[in-house]
Structure 1
Amino acid sequence: MATPIYRGVFPVAPTVFDEAGRLDLDGQKRAIDFMIDAGSNGICILANFSEQFVLTDEERSTVQNVVLEHVAGRVPVIVTTTHFSTDVCAARSRAAQDAGAAMVMIMPPYHGATIRVGEAGIHAFFSKVSAAIDIPIMIQDAPVAGTPMSAAFLASLAKEIEHVSYFKIETAQAASKLRELIRLGGDAVVGPWDGEEAITLIPDFDAGATGSMTGGGYPDGIRKIVDAYASGDTEQAAELYQQWLPLINYENRQCGLAACKTLMKAGGVIKSDMVRHPLASMQPAVRDGLLKVARRLDPLVLRWAH
C-alpha cells in the first residue's frame, strides 16, 4: 500500500497538566478532540510546543500511547522523537510507529549551546533512524537546534535516505530555503512544510509549501487560510491571513507555547493552563491581550466546550 501524502494543517498539541503539574490525561483527550473538531488535517504531539523537554521518558510514552489510542485513526498523528542519541531516537521512532504514528519529526542531533554534529554525522544519524522504521521522517529545521543545514544538504538527505521526505522549515528566510529545497530535491521532497506558528505562512505557501505545523489553539482559523490557498483563491487566503495575523503574531512574539493552553482554558477545553517549571506562567496583562485579540475572531476554542 502506498504511503499517503500528508498536506494541510497539522497543529502541535499541548501536553496538558493539572495545577500540580501532573499529566492530565482527561484534559489531554479533550484537547485532542477539540483540535480535530476545529478542522486539523492531522496533529503533532511531543514537539517543543508540547513541552517535550520537561517530560520523563515514561510520561512521553504515556502521552504518546494515550493520544494515539484516543485518536484511533481519525486523523494522522506525527510524533516528535528528537534525541541526541541515534539509538535512542531510533528506538523512540520505532515505538511511535508501533503505537500508530503516521510520521516522526526529528531535529538534527544537538546538545546545549555548543555540542553539534557535522553533516556526515547527521547523514548517518538519519540513515540509522530511517532503517529502524517504515514511516516518513520529517526533519525539523529550526533555530533551536543551532545546526545550520543548507537546502542542498537537506535535499541530499531526501534523495539518499529512504524515509526522509518531509521538512519543516523554520529558519530565517524560510520561503527562499523552501524554494531551493524543492528545486534541488525534486520528487524526493514529498512534504515541504511551513512552521513557526504560521508567522511566514503565505510567503512559504507561495514558495511551494504544502503543509503547515502551527500552534494548537485555533486550527479553524489556519485551516480557512490554507484551504483558500489550496483551492487557488490566493486573494481570499491573503485576506483571511490578514484577519488572523494579529493572533498569530501574539502567539509567535508574545506568548509562545503557553498561548494554546491559555486559549483552551479560557474556552473550557482544559481545566488548567499550567506550564511546567522552570517555564514561567503567562503574565496576566499578556493573557488579557491574547484573549482580547482572540475574541475579535471568535475562534472555536472559545466556544467548543459550551
Structure 2
Amino acid sequence: MNHNDKYTGVWPVMLTPFDEQRNIDWASLEKLIDWYIQAGVNGLFANCQSSEMFFLSEAESLQLTRFVLDYVDGRVPVVASGHTACGLPQQIDQVGQMAETGVDSVILISNRLASPSEGDDVVLANLQTLTAAIPSTVGLGIYECPHPYKRLLSDEVVSWCAQSGRYTFIKDTCCQIEKIRQRLDLIKGSRLHIANANGQTLLASLQAGAHGYSGVMTNFHPELYVWLCDNWDTAPESAQVVSDYLSAASLLEYLDYPICAKDYQLSLGNFKSVASRTREAGNYYSAHFQSTVQQTLRLGETLKNQLGI
C-alpha cells in the first residue's frame, strides 16, 4: 500500500456519539478520533451515514465536520459528506458550505443525484451541475449510500468522474467483485480511488488493485483492516485467515448498527451512551445481539495477538 498516496488504505466511517438527550457528545468524539488514529488508519470519513448525517441539522452537520477537522489537526486527511438535501439548488448550497470547511474531499451521495424512478442520464446531468458549482480546489468523491435507497453508479458515471480530474474517491458498496474489477479498469490512470465498503470482497478487491477499505467495521477492529491493507500481498496465507474472519465478523452490521458499534465504544470507555437518532437500543439488549458481538470481537482480539498487532 503506497502511503504517499493519501486516498489509499483504511478510512473509518465515523460514528457520532450522542448524550442521553441526543445532543452531540463532543468529549466522546475526541476519544473516538484518537482511537481511530491510534489504530493506524489512513484518513477519516466524517459526516457520513454512520455519523447519522440524515438526522443532523444543517448547522450540526457543519459544526460536526469543523470539530473533526480541528481536533484531527492534520494528523490524517478528512473527507466529509453531509449531502442530504433533495433539491439541486439546496444541494449546491449544502455541498458548497461543506467544501468551505477545508475537508480534503467532499463526498456526494449517489442517491441524491436522482429519484429511484429516474435514469442514469439524470444522475450524470445533476452530477455535472453539482461538480461545476464546487470550487476546483476541493476534491470530490461519491458514496453509494444505501439510505434512503441504494443507487449504484453506472459505468458512464464512473468514467466521467475519472476523466473529469475532480474526483478522488468512490466509496463502493456494489459488493460484487466483477463490478469492482470493471470499475478499476474504468478509472485506470486517473486520480480516482476505489475504497471498498464490503468486508467479504475486500481481499479480492485489493488483489485486483482497489485502494482500500471504508466501511462500518472500522468501528470495531480498524487495526485488522489496516493490517490487511498493508500486508495482503506480502503475507498471503495470514491475509486469507484475516479476510475469512473479517468476512464473518462483517455480519455484525445487521445486529442493530449503529447501536452495536456504540455499545462496543461504550465498553472501551470512549462513549458514555449508546444513544442514536436512527433507532432505539432496546432490541439490541433484549435479543442475543450483544453477546454475539462480544464473542465475535473476542475472536478478533485473539487474531490480533497471533499477528502481533
The interval holding the TM-score normalised by the smaller chain is 0.7 to 0.9
Which residue in the other structure is 1:124 paired with?
125
CA distance in 2, matches of 1:58, 1:297: 38
Q: Rate the CA distance shift 1:240–1:116 in 2: closer, same or farther, 3 A.
A: same
**CA–CA distance in structure 2, aligned partners of residues 224 and 282 of structure 1:** 33
The 3-state SS of whatever aligns with 1:188 is: coil
Preserved CA contact (<8 Å) 1:110 1:117 = no
Letter in 2 for 1:102: D
* 1:296 Cα offset (Å): 2.9
**What is the aligned partner in structure 1 of residue 214 from structure 2?**
213
Q: Distance in 2 between matches of 1:116 and 1:164?
A: 26
1:259-301 CA distance string (max 9 Å, x none): 32111101111111111154555522201210122123239xx
> In 1, Cα distance between the equivalents of 2:231 and 2:186?
28
Q: Does the 8 Å CA contact 1:110/1:116 hold for their aligned counterparts?
A: no
Return 5+ residue gaps in structure 1 as ranges.
300-306
Aligned partners of 2:62, 2:187: CA distance in 1, in Å?
A: 34
User: C-alpha displacement at 1:181, in angstroms?
Assistant: 1.4
More displaced 10-residue stretch of structure 1: 85-94 or 61-70:
85-94
> Match for 2:204: what amino acid?
P
1:162 to 160, 165, 182: 165
In the other structure, the counterpart of 1:187 is 189
Q: Does 1:239 align with 2:261?
A: no
Structure 1 residues 148 and 239, CA gap change in structure 2 (3 angstroms) = closer
Q: How does 1:42-53 map to 2 (within 5 A)?
A: 42-53=43-54
Cα deviation digits, residues 101-150 of structure 1 (max 9, x gap): 111221224499x6554333322322233231322222123444343432
Give the drift of 1:99: 1.9
In the alignment, which of 267, 274, 287 is matched to residue 290 of structure 2? 287
Aligned to 1:138: 141
**Alignment CA distance shift 1:62-1:153 (3 Å):** closer
User: Whole-Å Cα distance in 2 between the matches of residues 186 and 104 of structure 1?
Assistant: 22
Which whole-Å CA distance do the structure 2 matches of 1:188 and 1:86 have between them?
27
- CA 270–278 in structure 1, closer or farther in 2 if over 3 Å, else same: closer
The one-letter code of the counterpart of 1:260 is: A
Tell me which residue corresponds to 2:100. Answer: 98
Match for residue 14 of structure 2?
13
Distance 1:179 1:27 in 2: 39
Q: 1:256 to 1:290 in 2, by over 3 A?
A: same
Cα deviation code 1:228-285 (max 9, x no counterpart): 12x533322112222444332223x334333321111011111111111545555222
Q: Does 1:226 align with 2:236?
A: no
Displacement after TM superposition at 1:170 (Å): 0.8
Query: In 1, are the aligned partners of 2:61 and 2:82 still within 8 Å (CA)?
Result: no
- The Cα shift of 1:189 comes to 5.5
Calculate the TM-score normalised by the size of structure 2: 0.84
Cα pair 1:274 1:281 within 8 Å, conserved: no
The residue identity in structure 2 corresponding to 1:106 is L
Q: Which residue of 169, 175, 178 maps to 1:176?
A: 178
State whether residues 221 and 300 of structure 2, in contact with CA within 8 Å, keep that contact through their aligned partners in structure 1: no
CA 123–236 in structure 1, closer or farther in 2 if over 3 Å, else same: same
What secondary structure sits across from 1:49 in the alignment? coil
Task: Give secondary structure in 1 for the equivalent of 2:123.
Answer: helix
Aligned to 1:204: 205
What CA distance in whole angstroms lies between the structure 2 residues aligned with 1:152 and 1:22? 41
Q: CA RMSD in A?
A: 2.5
Maintained 8 Å contact 1:151/1:177:
no
SS in 1 for 2:187: helix
For 1:56 and 1:138, the matched residues in 2 are separated by 22
The 1-side partners of 2:255 and 2:242 are apart by 21
Q: Is the 8 A contact 2:139 2:167 kept in 1?
A: yes
Give ranges in structure 2 of 5+ residues lacking alignment.
303-309
**Secondary structure at the counterpart of residue 48 of structure 1:** coil
Distance 1:195 1:14 in 2: 15
Deviation at 1:72, TM superposition (A): 0.7
Alpha-carbon spacing, 1:21–1:106, altered in 2? closer, same or farther (3 Å): same
| Structure 1 segments (4+ residues) deviating >6 Å | none
Aligned twin of 2:305 = none
* Identical amino acids, percent of aligned pairs: 21
More moved, 146-155 vs 69-78: 146-155
